[in-house]
A and B are shown apart, each in its own frame.
Chain A
């Protein structure tokens, strides 16, 4: 994949030199071969170095990168078999959320994820991954089925936010999201959620009331998109970079705040540079966390999930006499 982000310019330069040498193939002199090897090492090191120190806004750019692996790519690379289940049995099949039975190392799990769409036609059909009520209701149907058959649930999160058009309101998107939270909170089977790109607002939360929330290294999870937050809190969406920093939305910051359990490392230069390596890391995280959660009795699992969310919140207690409100 090309290095096309602005902060990747040093990588693009190195890559160009590597490509030029590679094109000559067998005609390379021995010293040029050594040079090529050196450049490859240099690229890898520089990529790691740059990616270690990304600003929140740069992290957003990578999380939204058009070449980033999407749910469908992870499904292909992680599962040996996948049978997609369609429709919410009430209204429609929402292509912004896909899910089905996935076979991973001989075990069947329910795999559900947001799907943004790759080309223009696909993106339009999937509403850029912004799910409607029927998408959340399909996810609920699949989760209830997972519970029925004692299958663990894995959700992949990659959504800028729930759909915000008239149709969403007409079909009760708020009710659908609320019900998803309610269903997941009491679902009697292990749930692992992995943010693979963008985790945006209620649309992301509605499939991530999980026992473990993991984030890939270059992803974000936020109460509102930086642009939306900036237009409210800065009264100007062009201040999105400030909102991105202020809201602490990167995997690194959220791990520090103890809002997520783990960061899954990405290959040098981001997941889009090496789908296979990214998927391998995701697969091993799925297997490890599900295996751990399956050790727990169901009541214990539900209690831990409850306490996981119950404990979230930072506040203080008013000391008597101090800062008492005046009217």
Chain B
């Protein structure tokens, strides 16, 4: 949750990003970088937008960290936060117990109502609709509520003619909601079709990880598709491919660099450059229908 009581800090971050954007890591705790194994001090990591100062490894961010990092201060107005997952199938599994209980525990653990946060905000004073996925909430998986919130965001962007930014971080469709979850891929894509027909730009940002049914639907439908460096991005996880196909995969398979090289995305953007880059893109699309003279 956003901590409204926190005093405003002077902006000293790179390229206009807020240095106080990250506040979920215990500040004095040491964190080991999974890439270079360096022991990092929590608050140094936070000050660096959760990017390893030594090797540039991008740690995952939660939805509100993203919002705080990218949007103009206090510009975010959330909507549809009252939607809660029901349990359409009465789903119970032996390993994970009842789906309803899992939802409740994730709600408590993350302070979120679902894996998606949606609202209106501004980047460099330009208004937009922003949808952010949070991997902590059942792997950022898309069930009925995630699909509904994403669709509401797309529809709002279409109606108000505001650019759309969707930040993906998801393992894909939520199996505990069966075909309801799969159909959210069609629902969100159909809404994006209307956004495209209305001529409103959609920027899709892929972060670690973006896989499965999320990657194979709205994430890949951006007019501009960006990715953070080193993110796992693929339809199937590399380990699943290796097991199922008995194939040994090249080291960078299904990463940001892999999908860039294959022509699936436009560019990879370092986290410190995200805000100004999105700002540039918004300005360029915003001036598309202006006339010379």
Contact = CB atoms under 8 A, between A and B. Distances in A.
Nearest to B236: A164
Given A315-B86, A318-B84, A325-B107, 13 more contacts: A165-B241, A175-B216, A177-B216, A182-B192, A185-B189, A186-B197, A202-B216, A209-B190, A223-B179, A309-B183, A317-B83, A318-B113, A323-B84
Interface in A197-222: 201-202, 205-206, 209, 221-222
B121 to A, nearest CB: 21
A252 B191 CA distance: 29
Contacts of A182: 189, 192-193, 196, 221
A166 B217 CA distance: 19
Q: Which of A175, A246, A313 has the most CB of B within 10 A?
A: A313
Contacts of B212: 202
Contacts of B245: 164-166
A96 interface: no
Interface stretch (B31-39, B90-98, B123-131, B281-289): B90-98
Q: Which of A169, A172, A309, A315 has the most CB of B within 10 A?
A: A315
Contact of B235 (A173, A205, A243): A173
B108 A326 contact: yes
Interface of B: 1, 81-86, 88-89, 91-96, 104, 107-108, 110-113, 144-145, 147-148, 151, 173-187, 189-194, 196-197, 212-213, 215-221, 234-236, 240-241, 244-245, 247, 249, 253-254, 258, 262-264
A31 to B, nearest CB: 52
B72 to A, nearest CB: 24
5 tightest Cβ-Cβ pairs between the two chains A and B? A313-B144, A181-B189, A185-B190, A314-B88, A178-B220
B186 A209 contact: yes
A92 interface: no
Contact of A315 (B84, B110, B197): B84
A169 B186 CA distance: 21
Contact of A170 (B83, B216, B262): B262
8 contacts: A162-B216, A166-B253, A169-B241, A178-B220, A313-B187, A315-B148, A318-B82, A326-B108
Contacts of B178: 222-223, 247-249
Contacts of B89: 246-248
A206 B189 CA distance: 11
Contact of A314 (B82, B180, B193, B241): B180
Contacts of A179: 220-221
